[in-house]
Amino acid sequence: MFEDKTLICRNCGAEFVFTAGEQEFYAEKGFENEPKMCKDCRRKKKEEGKQFYTAVCAACGGEAKVPFKPHDDRPVYCSDCFAKMKKEEEA
């Protein structure tokens, strides 16, 4: 059985709780190492690593910011047009 553990973030030095539920999830996924950073530091690191590109939406002609480098041979959609297309596919 798992029990909550208090760990120290290697990035900011704050204490954070590695819950029993999180430990169970890690075990189910086969992860062997405990987290080294608190949730806030993990989120910040993830956001820092993302690069966004600007493109022209193929549907409305507006600006689209995307997390991948657009290619001329494939259409790119802004988030509003992409969401509309998803809804139409589901209907």
Q: pLDDT of 60-82, one tens digit each? A: 999 998 889 999 899 999 999 99
Domain count, the chain: 2
Domain that holds residue 72: 53-90
Inform me whether the pLDDT recorded for 1 exceeds 90: no
Answer yes or no: do 39 and 68 share one domain.
no
Answer yes or no: do 41 and 58 share one domain.
no
Helix (H, G, I), strand (E, B) or coil at 40: helix
Answer yes or no: do 21 and 38 share one domain.
yes
Backbone phi and psi for residue 74, each to the nearest 5 degrees, phi listed first:
-130, 135
Structure confidence by residue, pLDDT tens digits, 29-49: 999 999 999 999 999 998 887
- Residue 90 has a pLDDT of 86
Answer yes or no: do 61 and 85 share one domain.
yes
